[in-house]
Chain A
Amino acid sequence: QQQVKQSPQSLIVQKGGISIINCAYENTAFDYFPWYQQFPGKGPALLIAIRPDVSEKKEGRFTISFNKSAKQFSLHIMDSQPGDSATYFCAASTSWIKAAGNKLTFGGGTRVLVKP
């Protein structure tokens, strides 16, 4: 049972364009939503994260938008660059402070290719 659904599975964007990845979740107890970036042959690394008390968080060219009522969140990559070509995973968990370990539930991943 996939509790976090991610789309699209892959996308191709031109350099300078906007990449948009969407995720939807079912568990209303989730209250921590990170995005991880993974380059080929490497482990994922935290890119940006949001908690549901805010609707948007921006770090450089990366923005998370969060819609609590719709149980959806998305990653926008502005001015996409070839170096952004990677696989992106959304994830969700209950508050790690309360939970027994930070058990993240991951989406299926989106492979992003930015063409020069």
Chain B
Amino acid sequence: DGGITQSPKYLFRKEGQNVTLSCEQNLNHDAMYWYRQDPGQGLRLIYYSQIVNDFQKGDIAEGYSVSREKKESFPLTVTSAQKNPTAFYLCASTPRRLADLSSTGELFFGEGSRLTVL
């Protein structure tokens, strides 16, 4: 089955530690995204990547880092510089090729990773 796999589902971190959240997709999508979800604030974009070896900051990139070495993978590292990292993190993907006019532009989300800082 095609989809997006995020791991781990739950993660606990001590203050001062970096943690990396995994996101893998087998949908052959070009673009991938990381969103952070907090109660009452909707989903806020952290980073996104349109192609391998290229990524851009979203609205709340401070304290986060990403890499895109393979089309299928877009890991997110939450660094110790992120002041309030406890949140639900969602990875998403979408095809982005300009010729793909049949696409609805739909974002496909993984099931999320819940990070708690102790």
Residues of chain B with a CB closer than 8 A to A103's CB: 45, 48, 58
B92 beta carbon closer than 8 Å to chain A: yes
With A6-B42, A44-B43 in contact, do A102 and B107 touch (Cβ < 8 Å)? Answer: yes
Shortest CB distance A79–B (Å): 25
Residues of chain B with a CB closer than 8 A to A6's CB: 42
Interface 0/1 of B96-112, CB less than 8 Å to A? 10100101111101111
Residues of chain A with a CB closer than 8 A to B98's CB: 97
Q: How large is the interface on B (under 10, 10 to 19, 20 to 34, 35 or more residues)?
A: 20 to 34
Tell me the interface secondary structure of chain A in the complex.
Answer: loop
B31 beta carbon closer than 8 Å to chain A: yes
Chain A interface residue count, Cβ-Cβ cutoff 8 angstroms: 27
Complex CA gap A106/B109 in Å reads: 14
Residues of chain A with a CB closer than 8 A to B101's CB: 97
